[in-house]
Amino acid sequence: MTARLRVDWPACRARGLCHELLPELVDLDEWGYPIVGGEVTPDLLADARAAVRMCPRLALRLEEPRPL
Binding site for another protein (CB under 8 A): 6-14, 29-33, 35, 61
Comparison of 21 and 33: residue with beta carbon closer to another protein: 33
Q: CB 44 → another protein: shortest distance, Å?
A: 21
Q: C-beta of 31: minimal distance to another protein in Å?
A: 4
SS3 state of residue 50: helix
Q: CB burial class (10 A; 0-12, 13-18, 19+) of residue 51? A: buried
* Distance (Å, whole) CA 60 – CA 68: 24
Nearer to another protein, 49 or 61 (CB): 61
Q: Distance between CA atoms of 43 and 17, rounded to whole angstroms?
A: 19
Q: Which is nearer to another protein, 9 or 46 (CB)?
A: 9
